[in-house]
Structure 1
Amino acid sequence: MARRYGGNPAAAIILLVADIAALILILWIIFFVFDANRANDLVNWVHHSANWLAGWSKDLFTVDNAKWRTVLNYGLPAVVYLLIAHAIAGRVNRA
């Protein structure tokens, strides 16, 4: 990934952090949509982490269908984190 930004390790770290945050949010969406066992430690950890990462967008969308509501309320932060990280990494690379 560092090669993608001219070998700048700071840009690579920024993208890695955003990728991990987006992965956690997407995992929670998948777990929720497919009714994963919430008593499972991994599912529970992902749920709590996704709640923290999506705290600012919690209940932004109030769609009646719970699965769509989860996709929208947790998918938006994933996209925002990736877009912001790519913008910041591009700036860091130019500096």
Structure 2
Amino acid sequence: MTTLSRNASTASRVIALAADILAFIIGLWIVLYLLDANPGNDLVQVTHDTARWLATWSHDLFTFDKEWARVVCGYGLAAVVYLFVGHAIAGRLRKH
């Protein structure tokens, strides 16, 4: 394995891991919201703030009547996009 190939492989793993972590944070917020976690708890606040920042473009994209459906779809869309794009980029790097 050449140095360039090894570097591309390492970079692809880092990108895929970053995408997984971002999606996990958003998914964790969805679960905490659905379980009606205490909004005064520091972990819940940090998770919500981070997920909201990561999903700035999608968190209020949908206008369902039920708030839980807006949260699941809006934040869930962001998580899926992070996973799809991150792993697509990682896959392209692995091929080169």
Task: Using structure 1 for the length normalisation, give the TM-score.
Answer: 0.90
How many residues are paired up? 90
Rg comparison, structure with higher value: 2
Mapping of residues 55-70 of structure 1, within 5 Å: 55-70=56-71
Shift of 1:10: 0.4
- Aligned mates of 2:71, 2:59 — CA distance in 1: 9
Q: Does 1:53 align with 2:54?
A: yes
Runs (5+) with no aligned partner, structure 1: 1-5
Q: Which residue does the alignment assign to 1:86?
A: 87
Task: Using structure 2 for the length normalisation, give the TM-score.
Answer: 0.89
Q: Does 1:14 align with 2:15?
A: yes
- Aligned mates of 1:85, 1:17 — CA distance in 2: 8
Q: Which residue does the alignment assign to 1:30?
A: 31
**Could you give the per-residue CA deviations for residues 21-68 of structure 1, whole angstroms, max 9, x where no partner exists?**
000000000011110001111000000000000001131101010111
Partner AA of 1:22 in structure 2: A
User: Runs of 4+ in structure 1 displaced over 2 angstroms?
Assistant: none
| RMSD, aligned α-carbons | 1.3
Runs (5+) with no aligned partner, structure 2: 1-5
- Aligned mates of 1:48, 1:82 — CA distance in 2: 20
- Indicate the percent of aligned positions where both proteins have the same amino acid: 51
